[in-house]
Amino acid sequence: MIKAIRGTRDLLPPETALWNFVEAAARDVFRAYNFQEIRTPIFEETQLFARSVGEETDIVSKEMYTWENRGRAQSEKGQSLTLRPENTAGVVRAYIEHKLWDRGLNKLYYIGPQFRRERPQKGRYRQFYQIGAEAIGPPSAGSESPARDAEMLEMLATFLDRLGITGWNLELNSVGCPNDRARCNEALRKALEPVVSKMCADCQRRAVTNPLRVFDCKVPEDQPIIEKLPRISQFLDEPCRTHFAEVQEILQAVGVPFRLNDRLVRGLDYYTRTAFEFTHGALGAQNAILGGGRYDGLSESLGGPQAPGIGFAIGEDRLVMSLKESAEAVARKPEVYIAPLGADMNREAARLARELRRHDLVVELGDESFRMKKSLETASKLGARYALIVGENEVKADAFGLKNLETGEQIPVPHHELAAKIQAGR
Ligand code: HAM
């Protein structure tokens, strides 16, 4: 038997209703903040991710699905392609390619699959889904302002509250600008020199190439050493410090709670200044429901104009996991099951189904092969609220038997009152 490959999975009903519910809520909330949807390709040139996410990150150095293009055109031969491991790089590429700066500040959101070759475990998949957003534009459009950071964080708090997710924590840090990081990396190299030989192989490599990445380390034995290392917060210059203070002040003013975490450096290299994660205690080891931050130099590093930006991506798989208990409640079950009694009744039943669906009712249509008893059993199994009996006598009288499957009560309802009667039972 052929099965779905490791790290991928099928999303099945009724859980898919929960995915739709989450996505509809995201579209709704993001719209109120003037975000619009963007859809970028699922694969891009490998260089795009290497240059934005960073060669030294776990994502680029070991987790990407990469292959060589076999196109006919000369320009395609030998070209390296990669399934997107994240979507910020693609959005910034599109921003540059379509000169989106002509519109001022662009507020764009996306929903879609991402791919990373990570070790699968609870809450971690090789194909996973993100709901993300980016606010990017020229500095003249206010894209650099701490007001943008605070607005985005407030939007996320609103979204999680709207879904009824309680118990989230917003962890906040500033990773400064490249100069701050250079000074921090120098201090880290010095601090790591005498201890690095006792650390894991990844940290030994990071200590040379990009010491700040040491904070990504999850190896328990390395933690006491990491705990004593200097932090980026000690190296922020005056503008970065003021920017970060302003973000915090707006958050306090609008009542969004947060916790400062000076170990939070995020696993991607493009970040500058504000970096954040929302975590949730109920998720176990993979407890980050979402992560994001500012990336003020990313556009330039991809050959674009100056375009400060900030964004986030929610791990939709993890978000749905934290909502799963309510899956049954959210799934819209059939409100009425139409049971035609005999082959002659199929046409009338189809007409009624079409009519009721136009009234935004969820309708399941049976067929003549079921007898009354089997129809009612099927209707109950599907969780339908009513069964509608369509027999010869009913068609003649233009009134149909409507059976409430919870109470067992059955009453004849005139055709023109059917939709209202079923809706009233909601
Ligand atoms: P990230 O932290 O790599 O950031 O991913 C964001 C979220 O995606 C994580 O917090 C997690 O919920 C989810 N996630 C990541 N990997 C997996 C996986 N293997 N399985 C399930 N869920 C996963 C980014 O991707 C940035 N592009 C976010 C961003 C947007 N920063 C600025 N703009």
pLDDT at 324 over 80: no
Give the distance (Å) from ligand 1 centre to CA of residue 256.
Answer: 22
Q: Is residue 221 part of a domain?
A: no
Question: According to the model, what pLDDT value does residue 327 have?
Answer: 52
How many Cβ atoms are within 10 Å of 414's Cβ, its own excluded? 11
Question: According to the model, what pLDDT value does residue 329 have?
Answer: 52
**CA 363/CA 357 separation, integer angstroms:** 6
Looking at residues 297-302, what average pLDDT do you find?
A: 98
Q: Which of 272, 304, 326 is the last residue of a domain?
A: 326
pLDDT at 218 over 60: yes
**Does 306 lie in the same domain as 343?**
no
Looking at residues 16-33, what average pLDDT do you find?
A: 96
Q: Is residue 372 part of a domain?
A: yes
Q: How many domains does the chain have?
A: 2
How many residues does the structure list for the chain?
426
**Does 169 lie in the same domain as 252?**
yes
**Does 405 lie in the same domain as 311?**
no
Give the distance (Å) from ligand 1 centre to CA of residue 132.
Answer: 9
Q: Which of 326, 353, 369 is the last residue of a domain?
A: 326
Query: Can you give the CATH number for the domain in which 92 is found?
Result: 3.30.930.10
In this prediction, residue 14 has a pLDDT band, given cuts at 50, 70 and 90, of confident
Asked if residue 336 lies in contact with residue 385, where contact means CB atoms within 8 angstroms, the answer is: yes
Query: What is the number of the ligand 1 atom nearest to the C-alpha of 311?
Result: 33
Give the distance (Å) from ligand 1 centre to CA of residue 197.
Answer: 31
Supply the residue whose CA is at minimum distance from atom 21 of ligand 1: 124
Mean pLDDT value across the chain: 94
Q: Which of 297, 326, 355 is the last residue of a domain?
A: 326
In this prediction, residue 144 has a pLDDT band, given cuts at 50, 70 and 90, of very high
Tokens of 184: 């921090």
Whether residue 340 has a cis bond before it, omega within 30° of 0: no
Supply the residue whose CA is at minimum distance from atom 4 of ligand 1: 291
Asked if residue 42 lies in contact with residue 84, where contact means CB atoms within 8 angstroms, the answer is: yes
- Cα 314 vs. chain centroid, distance in angstroms? 4
Looking at residues 245-265, what average pLDDT do you find?
A: 96
Largest CA distance in the chain: 93
In this prediction, residue 286 has a pLDDT band, given cuts at 50, 70 and 90, of confident
pLDDT at 71 over 90: no
Q: Is residue 205 part of a domain?
A: no
Asked if residue 176 lies in contact with residue 273, where contact means CB atoms within 8 angstroms, the answer is: yes
Q: Is residue 153 part of a domain?
A: yes
Question: According to the model, what pLDDT value does residue 378 have?
Answer: 92
**CA 202/CA 56 separation, integer angstroms:** 10
**Can you give the residue range of the structural domain that contains 359?**
333-424
**Does 396 lie in the same domain as 291?**
no
Give the distance (Å) from ligand 1 centre to CA of residue 147.
Answer: 23
Show the ligand 1 pocket: residues with CB < 6 angstroms: 86-88, 116, 118, 123-125, 128, 130, 132, 134, 267-268, 288-293, 295, 311-313, 315, 317-318
Query: Can you give the CATH number for the domain in which 348 is found?
Result: 3.40.50.800
**Does 350 lie in the same domain as 285?**
no
Counting residues of the chain whose pLDDT is more than 70, the rounded percentage is 98
Q: Is residue 111 part of a domain?
A: yes
**Does 386 lie in the same domain as 254?**
no
Tell how strand 36-37 and strand 106-115 pair up.
Answer: parallel
**Does 126 lie in the same domain as 263?**
yes
Q: Is residue 248 part of a domain?
A: yes
Question: According to the model, what pLDDT value does residue 331 have?
Answer: 64
Q: Is residue 189 part of a domain?
A: no
Residue 274, phi then psi, degrees to nearest 5:
-60, 125
**Does 39 lie in the same domain as 104?**
yes
**Does 140 lie in the same domain as 108?**
yes
**Does 79 lie in the same domain as 61?**
yes
* Cβ within 8 Å of residue 115, ≥6 positions away: 64, 65, 83, 84, 85, 126, 127, 128
Looking at residues 259-276, what average pLDDT do you find?
A: 95
Asked if residue 12 lies in contact with residue 84, where contact means CB atoms within 8 angstroms, the answer is: no
Question: According to the model, what pLDDT value does residue 275 have?
Answer: 98
Question: Ligand 1: which of 44, 57, 84, 86 to mutate, most ligand atoms within 8 Å of CB?
Answer: 86
In this prediction, residue 283 has a pLDDT band, given cuts at 50, 70 and 90, of confident
Asked if residue 348 lies in contact with residue 340, where contact means CB atoms within 8 angstroms, the answer is: yes
